[in-house]
Chains A and B, each alone.
Chain A
Amino acid sequence: MLTGDAVRWGAAVDRAYDCDAYTVDRSAPAAVVLPSTEQEVQAVVRWCVASRVPFTPRGAGTGLSGGAMPALGGVVISTKRLNRILEVDLPNQRLHAEAGVTNSALSKAVAHAGLHFAPDPSSQTVSTLGGNIAENSGGPHTLKYGVTAPHILTVRVVSPNGEMQEFGRRVVGGPGPAWERLVVGSEGLLGVVVSAWVHLTPVPKAVQTVLVALPTIRAASDAVASVIASGIVPAALEMMDRNILMALKVAFGLEFPADTAALLLLECDGEPKQVEEDFARMLAILKGFAPLELRVASDEAERKSLWTARKKGIGAMGRLAPTIVTHDGVIPPSTLPDMLEFVYAVAAREGIGVANLFHAGDGNLHPCFYFDDRDPKQVESVVRAGEEIMRKCLELGGSLTGEHGIGVEKVGLMHAMFGPEDMALQRRVKELFNPDTLCNPCKLIPDQKGCVEHMVRWRGVAT
Chain B
Amino acid sequence: MSQHSLTDLTSHCIRCGFCLEDCPTFKITGEEHESPRGRIYLVRSAEEGKLDWDEARPHLDRCLGCRACETACPSGVEYGAILELARERLGAKPATKMLLSGLTDSRKARLQFQLGAMMPGKRMPALLSKWVSGETPEANIPRVGTVREWPTVDESALPPIRGEVALLMGCVMQVLYPDVHEATRRLLRRVGYRVHDVLGGCCGALHAHSGMTKEAGDRLTDLKQQLPPGMPLIVNSAGCGSTLKESDLKEQTLDASEFLLANGLVEVIRSGREQRVRLTYHDACHLAHGQGVRSQPRELLRAIPGIEFVELEEADTCCGSAGIYNIQQPLLARRLLERKWEFVQQSGAQIVATGNPGCHAWIAQRAEEAGQQVQVLHTLQAIEMACSGMLA
Residues of B within 8 A of A312 (CB): 18, 74
Q: Could you tell me which residues of chain A, from 92 to 146, have a CB within 8 Å of some CB in chain B? A: 100, 102, 104, 123, 125-127
B95 → chain A, closest Cβ, in Å?
21
B390 within 8 A of A: no
Q: Is A11 an interface residue (CB 8 A)?
A: yes
**Min CB gap A422→B, angstroms:** 33
* Other-chain residue from A16, A125, A319 in contact with B12 (beta carbon distance below 8 A): A319
Please classify the interface of chain B as helix (H, G, I), strand (E, B), loop, or mixed, using the class held by over half of its residues.
loop
B38-60 vs A, CB cutoff 8 Å, 1 = contact: the mask equals 10011001000011100110110
Residue with the highest number of chain A CB atoms closer than 10 Å, among B31, B42, B59: B31
* Residue contact B14 to A62, C-beta cutoff 8 Å: no
Q: A-facing mask of B8-46, CB < 8 A → 1, else 0?
A: 000111111111110000000111110000100110010
In the assembly, what is the distance between CA of A23 and CA of B74, in Å? 18
Task: Pick out which of these stretches binds chain B: A77-85, A183-191, A227-235, A443-451.
Answer: A77-85
Taking CB atoms and an 8 Å cut-off, the chain A residues in 65-81 that contact chain B are 78, 80-81
Whether A17 contacts B16 by the Cβ 8 Å rule is no
Contact with A along B323-348 (1 / 0, CB 8 A): 00000000000000000000000000
Q: Which of these, B20, B52, B77, contacts A318 with CB under 8 Å?
A: B77
B16 touches A21 (CB 8 A): yes
B56 neighbours in A (Cβ, 8 Å): 12
A61 to B20, alpha carbons, bound, how many Å? 10
Q: Does B146 contact A (CB under 8 A)?
A: no
Residues of B contacting A13 with CB < 8 Å?
31, 33
How many chain A residues sit at the interface, stated as a range, is: 35 or more
Measured between beta carbons, the chain A residues less than 8 angstroms from B55 are 10-12, 15
The docked-state distance in angstroms from the alpha carbon of A314 to that of B45 is 23
Instruction: Determine how close the nearest CB of chain B comes to the CB of A90; give it in whole angstroms.
Output: 20
Q: Does A315 contact B (CB under 8 A)?
A: yes
Q: Does A19 touch B at the CB level, under 8 Å?
A: yes
Complex CA distance for A127 and B74, rounded to whole angstroms: 16
Contacting residues of chain A (1-36) with chain B, CB-CB under 8 angstroms: 5, 8, 10-13, 15-17, 19-21, 23, 32, 34
Q: Cβ of A343 < 8 Å from any Cβ of B? A: no
- Per-residue B-contact encoding for A428-461, CB less than 8 Å = 1, 0 else: 0000000000000000000000000000000000
Tell me, yes or no, whether A335 is within 8 Å of chain B by CB.
no
Chain A contacts for B19, CB-based, 8 A: 126
Contact partners of A5 in chain B: CB under 8 A: 29
- B163 CB within 8 Å of chain A: no
Is B20 in contact with A126, judged by CB distance below 8 angstroms? yes
Partner of B75, one of A21, A23, A318: A318
- Check A411 for interface membership: any CB of B closer than 8 A: no
- What is the bound-complex CA distance between A388 and B55, given in angstroms? 40
CB atoms of A15 and B76 under 8 A apart: no
Is B21 in contact with A315, judged by CB distance below 8 angstroms? no
| Any A CB within 8 A of the CB of B73 | yes
Q: Is A317 in contact with B17, judged by CB distance below 8 angstroms?
A: no
Residue of B nearest to A12 (CB): B55
Given contacts A318-B13, A319-B12, contact A16 B77 (CB under 8 A): no
A316–B74 touching, CB < 8 Å: yes
Distance A319 CA – B38 CA, assembled complex (angstroms): 19
Q: Which residue of chain A is the closest to B21 with respect to CB atoms?
A: A126
Give the chain A neighbours of B16 by CB distance below 8 A: 21, 62, 123, 314-315, 318
What is the CA–CA distance of A98 and B51 in the complex, to the nearest angstrom? 34
A322 within 8 A of B: yes
Provide the bound-state CA to CA distance between A32 and B31, in Å: 9
Contact of B33 among A16, A20, A127 (CB under 8 A): A16
Assess whether A201 is interfacial by the CB under 8 Å rule.
no
In the complex, whether A324 has a CB less than 8 A from a CB of chain B is yes
- The distance from the CB of A240 to the nearest CB of chain B, in whole angstroms, is 14
- Assembled-state Cα–Cα distance A81/B42 (Å): 22
In this assembly, does A41 line the interface, its C-beta being within 8 Å of a C-beta of chain B? no
Residues of B within 8 Å of A8, CB to CB, are 31, 33
B74 touches A318 (CB 8 A): yes
B32 to A61, Cβ gap below 8 A? yes
Chain A residue numbers with a CB within 8 Å of B14 are: 21, 23, 315, 317-318, 322-324
Q: Are A319 and B21 in contact (CB under 8 A)?
A: no
Q: Report which of B11, B15, B58 forms a contact with A21, defined as CB distance below 8 A.
A: B15
Contact B33 A315 (CB under 8 A): no
Residues A126 and B33 in contact, CB atoms below 8 Å apart:
no
Q: Which residues of A contact B75 (CB under 8 A)?
A: 251, 315-319
A60 to B75, CA, bound (A): 19
- Given the known A-B contacts A126-B17, A312-B18, A315-B18, are A15 and B45 also in contact in the complex, defined by CB atoms under 8 Å? yes
Question: Does any Cβ of B come within 8 Å of A285's Cβ?
Answer: no
Residues in A neighbouring B77, C-beta threshold 8 A = 318
Asked if A315 contacts B45 (CB within 8 A), the reply is no
Contacts of A324 in B (CB 8 A): 14
Closest to B12 in A: A318
Q: Is A345 an interface residue (CB 8 A)?
A: no
Cβ B15 vs Cβ A126 within 8 A: no
Does A416 count as interface, using CB distance less than 8 angstroms?
no
- Say yes or no: is A86 at the interface (Cβ < 8 Å to chain B): no
Inter-chain contacts of A12 with B (CB < 8 A): 33, 42, 51, 55-56, 58-59
Pairs A-B, 8 closest by C-beta atoms: A318-B75, A80-B30, A315-B74, A322-B11, A312-B74, A16-B33, A318-B14, A16-B38
Assuming A8-B31, A123-B18, what are 15 further A-B pairs, CB within 8 angstroms? A5-B29, A16-B41, A16-B59, A20-B15, A34-B30, A61-B17, A61-B32, A62-B17, A78-B31, A80-B30, A127-B17, A314-B16, A315-B75, A318-B12, A319-B12
Spell out A's residues near B (CB within 8 Å): 5, 8, 10-13, 15-17, 19-21, 23, 32, 34, 60-62, 78, 80-81, 83, 100, 102, 104, 123, 125-127, 250-251, 312-319, 322-324, 372
A-B contact pairs, 19 of them (CB 8 A): A10-B55, A12-B33, A12-B56, A16-B33, A16-B59, A19-B15, A21-B16, A34-B29, A61-B32, A78-B31, A78-B32, A123-B17, A251-B76, A315-B73, A318-B14, A318-B16, A322-B11, A322-B12, A324-B14
